[in-house]
Structure 1
């Protein structure tokens, strides 16, 4: 009687020794192979090992210490109930302590990770740590402001007893600590890009909502940073640290990119991005007040010129640029030019509308550019050529 034997075709993948050394895989370690989006990924069989290990006491103990300090202060002030928003409120207490605790655990975790070289943060320059930390602090402030404003609308004039309020604050601080530790352990270009986007959009929306003049849009976009606006500090600080955060992102991306593409064209791209980031920061540093009006306008024009140079030259200065990205770049550049012509030759667009449209298009293109650079930079020296061969020993 004949037997139908179902034979499985086996393939071998030859992996360079240098690649294996970087993974720290053991010779007899069990590995798992995953196929997704036409890509093969090899990981340890226990996928839980890939997740950051965050011990309970790392985020809970600092939260308990600071919460007890708040509780002691409330007892000293003889508070029996605590409002959601206002002086001596849940919002102010949790914001202050979350900033102190969250940023502290973030800095400590990032430093330990970089020194031990056991996480993505090891590729960041030390000078980037302060910028990223301040950016995280600003995002915490924007997020808390929005969250507690919404909470206040839902529970108008609500007050909680001291013990309930203390538990709320403890949970909030613990959650922020956990998020900040996880952020430090998984810091990557994609995360920094998200931080940049959240900080710019959040900072500007916060300035729009909290400014003293509801008719600011009748002036121009730069009005948010002038002395006439009560929220000018938030707007200008957002721009300054957005520029610095963009520099930190460029630093990180080009660490690996220049290992593989170390030529003059990549250096020109890096310098242009530095110049653009410097202009963004300088616009916040020199607001559109009478004292800096001329300088502010010139820096704004330099920002536009650098943007146009990047769009035109990206074909030559970005390695392996994709045709799809080039097409999108030229479309965005064309739209920016079209908006400029419409603004100059007609009254259809107000100055504020024109500036917001140009800013939105420019930021969209910059984020797309960073995505393309990241896709190149993530390989760097970690890019290896391998071969897939049939295992002849399995064949009869």
Structure 2
């Protein structure tokens, strides 16, 4: 436990990078990337009238330049600002810093590509047959590139466990939804959820689904680092309830951030493995990664009382309720044939992400309250002591 505490010391955010610094650098990044996008647009669209969506269209070029600017801005923000605001990042091993940076950079790159392609596709449907000239097309690329750089730098510089969990949930939902829309096999849902990641579903669905899982796994690994930092802060201020202090076993139960982190990392590795090994490539390998994710999450859910003492009783009740809900979902699939395997997988994903959302919000609330003065005495005892003094 000392090893974990030494990596996540209880420190106040550094003042070397202020909110104004982030805003100023984000504006500079947006301006520089806008000019770069404008130049690229003039070069690519020279002598043509590009459409809003399609091959060598405004949307396609914007997606490429926006992805580059988003990735570059995110990497710059992590290197120069986030690590300064969160000094504990510098204390973890280099390979873990690389994983965190890679997850943050890739999620901004992938999100930028998906958002820009969807937006320009919708605009093309709204303005059917519209073609822009070189100037208008280049300006559109410049605007998209600048906005991508600005938002990516802002988001990365201010990231924390709570916001990162929101990013992860939205990114996974958007990626899976797009892969569903791109699936050439309209009956994919009749077999299993993972069929979206096979070539039979179409190359668009194949790449979107599997890349979403791989990037989501990296983001989850980065999220585990931020969450562990918050859990270590809570463990440093943890106090056994006075009514339980007389029991030796109760005094031995303390928060275990390292075990929670390892459970989340195993889930992250499993998600990456599911994306890299589609079930039509290796059924055994794909199933092994699915089982690894399931076992890790079940251990985390069943062990909250031991791993996370001090959390509200209703949170532990919710954890066991989630396990029960997963079991009922399993019975609905196997025993009662209420839905097929796809329905069961969607139910489990919804249950687990709902629990993770509650877990993050509860941890965030407890972390924010950690600086509030606390006492082990009842209000009446405090009043008596105040009168006697």
Residues 105/270 of structure 1: CA separation in 2 closer, same or farther (3 Å cut): closer
Q: In the alignment, which residue of structure 2 is the partner of 1:111?
A: 79
State the distance in 1 between where 2:113 and 2:351 align: 27
State the distance in 1 between where 2:374 and 2:187 align: 62
Contact 2:13–2:86 at 8 Å: present in 1 too?
no
State the distance in 1 between where 2:318 and 2:228 align: 23
Residues 149/275 of structure 1: CA separation in 2 closer, same or farther (3 Å cut): same
- Pair 1:86-2:86 in alignment: no
After TM superposition, give the deviation of residue 50 of structure 1 in Å.
9.5
Alignment of 1:89-238 (within 5 A): 89-114=57-82, 117=84, 119-120=85-86, 123=89, 126-127=97-98, 128-230=100-202, 231-238=205-212
- Say how many residue pairs are matched: 340
After TM superposition, give the deviation of residue 376 of structure 1 in Å.
4.2
Contact 1:253–1:374 at 8 Å: present in 2 too?
no
State the distance in 1 between where 2:342 and 2:118 align: 24
* Partner SS for 1:228: helix
Q: In the alignment, which residue of structure 2 is the partner of 1:327?
A: 317
State the distance in 2 between where 1:337 and 1:146 align: 37
Question: Comparing both chains, which one has the higher relative contact order based on Cα–Cα distances under 8 Å and sequence gaps of 6 or more?
Answer: 1
* Worse overlay, 364-373 or 197-206: 364-373
Q: Which has the higher strand share?
A: 1
State the distance in 2 between where 1:20 and 1:202 align: 36
- Pair 1:249-2:223 in alignment: yes
Q: Which has the higher helix share?
A: 2
What TM-score, normalized by structure 1, do the two folds share?
0.78
Contact 1:113–1:121 at 8 Å: present in 2 too?
no
After TM superposition, give the deviation of residue 21 of structure 1 in Å.
8.5
State the distance in 1 between where 2:80 and 2:19 align: 22
State the distance in 2 between where 1:190 and 1:264 align: 20
Contact 2:104–2:156 at 8 Å: present in 1 too?
no
State the distance in 2 between where 1:21 and 1:105 align: 25
State the distance in 2 between where 1:160 and 1:307 align: 51
Residues 23/109 of structure 1: CA separation in 2 closer, same or farther (3 Å cut): closer
Please identify the structure whose Cα radius of gyration is greater. 1
Q: In the alignment, which residue of structure 2 is the partner of 1:70?
A: 41
Residues 164/49 of structure 1: CA separation in 2 closer, same or farther (3 Å cut): closer
Contact 1:343–1:349 at 8 Å: present in 2 too?
yes
After TM superposition, give the deviation of residue 51 of structure 1 in Å.
7.6
State the distance in 1 between where 2:25 and 2:333 align: 53
Contact 1:280–1:303 at 8 Å: present in 2 too?
yes
After TM superposition, give the deviation of residue 49 of structure 1 in Å.
5.8
* Partner SS for 2:256: helix
**CA RMSD for the aligned pairs?**
2.9
Q: In the alignment, which residue of structure 2 is the partner of 1:312?
A: 302
In structure 1, runs of 5+ residues without a counterpart are 1-18, 25-46, 388-396
Cα deviation, 1:215-259, whole Å, max 9, x if unaligned, reads 111111010112312221221121122112111111122134325
* Partner SS for 2:132: strand
In structure 2, runs of 5+ residues without a counterpart are 1-9, 91-95, 237-253, 376-389
After TM superposition, give the deviation of residue 132 of structure 1 in Å.
1.0
* Partner SS for 1:352: helix
Contact 1:120–1:185 at 8 Å: present in 2 too?
no
State the distance in 2 between where 1:174 and 1:166 align: 12
Q: In the alignment, which residue of structure 1 is the partner of 2:260?
A: 269
* Partner SS for 2:50: strand
Q: In the alignment, which residue of structure 1 is the partner of 2:346?
A: 356
